[in-house]
Structure 1
Amino acid sequence: MTTNDTPVHQLYLVTDEPACLGRDFYWVVEEAVQGGVTMVQLREKHLSTRAFIDRAKRLKDILLPYNVPLIINDRVDVALAANADGVHVGQSDMHFDMLNEMLPEGKIIGLSAESEEDVVEAENFDISYLAVSPLFDTPTKTDIKKPWEIAGLQWVRKNSTHTLAAIGGINANNIRQAATNGAEIIAIVSAICSAPSPYEAAFRLKSAMHD
């Protein structure tokens, strides 16, 4: 039921409002999209359900003219209410089988993998991408296991048939490593959200994948 034709080397923005440093959240996202971001994940841990849905709907309206899909972190109810393009879940969130039943045909499903066991289990799931998380140490995720590092990413690439996303501690200095060692999707948080110019940061990161 999921889409598996993800283009190689997508730049995936995972939002973090505190990382936007007080600037308008929607401005940061749109600037990043104009700079080269091709997917956006809305991650909200503290908003009420109604406020989360309202934010998702507004963000979807902004992204639609750019043909950039909106993915909702964790909350399938919010994704359905906002008619988002997909959902990303972690290992402690809703199980894939239940999520698969709830989402309409054609929606994107992303799943985090924090261990080798997660990678092996995910081979049974028809997901759109598997997120190697975290690739490097990152202050934005404090509830995860040790980083995979490049050797771990290489192991996942050898043992997974899924499109791979890499997230965690990725910046302009190491994005090329991720892109050349198995990750087709590169997920970025603070390296875009906290950058003086989200547009220029996204542009540089997209270019650095191929340098």
Structure 2
Amino acid sequence: MNISEQLKVYFVMGSTNCINHDPEKTLAEAINGGITLFQYREKGEASLTDENRVYLGKKLRALCKRYSIPFIVNDDIELALELESDGVHLGQDDDAPLVAKKRIKNHMIIGLSTHTVEEAKLAVTAGADYIGVGPMFTTKTKTDAHEVVGPTLISHIRAAGLPDFPIVGIGGITIHNALEVYQSGANGIAVISSISHASSPREAAEAFNTLR
């Protein structure tokens, strides 16, 4: 499965995102529901730090490896290396992809958050393997979220000379608006609370899988 296919149902989660179950159970259920990619995003108030963050990361990494789900680390290259992750996802203010490629293993995936057509083009030139575009809709998960750009931005990026580059939409995506993101030209959707807050993360993941 290539990265375009792996982006289909991209689950993003940290300990603070889990409400009804602990992180391991939440991820295990989501995997059983058919997620295709996982990102460990341990951020925000009350998030784990230092050895606790590493300890949870190792448990989630082992779970992903058991089920052959690619494991991505958010923002932190050192943590990605320590956890032997499959990749790292960077923001616009983090290490540039070209710098990151010099610090990580060649086989690691590099994702980059983008919010404009120009940023998307630069990300491709800089060596990103996929881009996250958003926020698609209003989100409460990120307190520092950018202004909503909507699914139309993905359509504009496609029309601007990137018809086949791997793109995942992120931000405020629910089962009710996900199809709009797919229809805009995204290869997949990145979901946090719509799965992690669900009483049954497995059923939530299954529901997203039925959309494509």
TM beyond 0.5 = yes
Q: Which residue of 2 aligns with 1:66?
A: 67
Could you tell me how far apart the structure 1 residues matched to 2:48 and 2:22 are?
Answer: 16
Could you tell me how far apart the structure 2 residues matched to 1:5 and 1:22 are?
Answer: 30
Q: How does 1:140-179 map to 2 (within 5 A)?
A: 140-159=141-160, 160=162, 162-179=165-182
1:171-197 deviation line (CA, Å, top 9, x unaligned): 111111111211102100000000110
Structure 1 residues 107 and 143 mapped into 2: Cα distance closer, same or farther (>3 Å)? same
Could you tell me how far apart the structure 1 residues matched to 2:85 and 2:27 are?
Answer: 16
Structure 1 residues 9 and 179 mapped into 2: Cα distance closer, same or farther (>3 Å)? farther
Q: Which residue of 2 aligns with 1:43?
A: 41
Q: Which residue of 1 aligns with 2:12?
A: 14
Q: How does 1:48-197 map to 2 (within 5 A)?
A: 48-159=49-160, 160=162, 162-197=165-200
Could you tell me how far apart the structure 2 residues matched to 1:8 and 1:89 are?
Answer: 18
1:151-170 deviation line (CA, Å, top 9, x unaligned): 21211222235200111111
Structure 1, unpaired ranges of 5+ = none
CA drift of 1:9 comes to: 5.6
Q: How does 1:20-35 map to 2 (within 5 A)?
A: 20-21=18-19, 23-35=21-33
Deviates more, 1:151-160 or 1:58-67: 151-160
Structure 1 residues 61 and 9 mapped into 2: Cα distance closer, same or farther (>3 Å)? closer
Structure 1 residues 48 and 197 mapped into 2: Cα distance closer, same or farther (>3 Å)? same
Structure 1 residues 152 and 5 mapped into 2: Cα distance closer, same or farther (>3 Å)? closer
Instruction: For 2:187, give the aligned amino acid.
Output: E
| RMSD value, Cα | 1.7
Decide whether the 8 Å contact of 1:12 with 1:39 is kept in 2: yes
Decide whether the 8 Å contact of 1:110 with 1:129 is kept in 2: yes
Could you tell me how far apart the structure 2 residues matched to 1:141 and 1:157 are?
Answer: 26
1:34-61 deviation line (CA, Å, top 9, x unaligned): 0011111000123323222222211111
Relative to the length of structure 2, the TM-score reads 0.91
Deviates more, 1:18-27 or 1:175-184: 18-27
Relative to the length of structure 1, the TM-score reads 0.91
Instruction: For 2:50, give the aligned amino acid.
Output: T
**Residues matched between the structures, number:** 207
CA drift of 1:81 comes to: 0.7
Could you tell me how far apart the structure 2 residues matched to 1:154 and 1:109 are?
Answer: 22
Could you tell me how far apart the structure 2 residues matched to 1:131 and 1:13 are?
Answer: 13
Decide whether the 8 Å contact of 1:157 with 1:164 is kept in 2: no
Q: Which residue of 2 aligns with 1:203?
A: 206
The 3-state SS of whatever aligns with 2:176 is coil
Could you tell me how far apart the structure 1 residues matched to 2:134 and 2:150 are?
Answer: 10
Deviates more, 1:176-185 or 1:9-18: 9-18
Decide whether the 8 Å contact of 2:15 with 2:48 is kept in 1: no
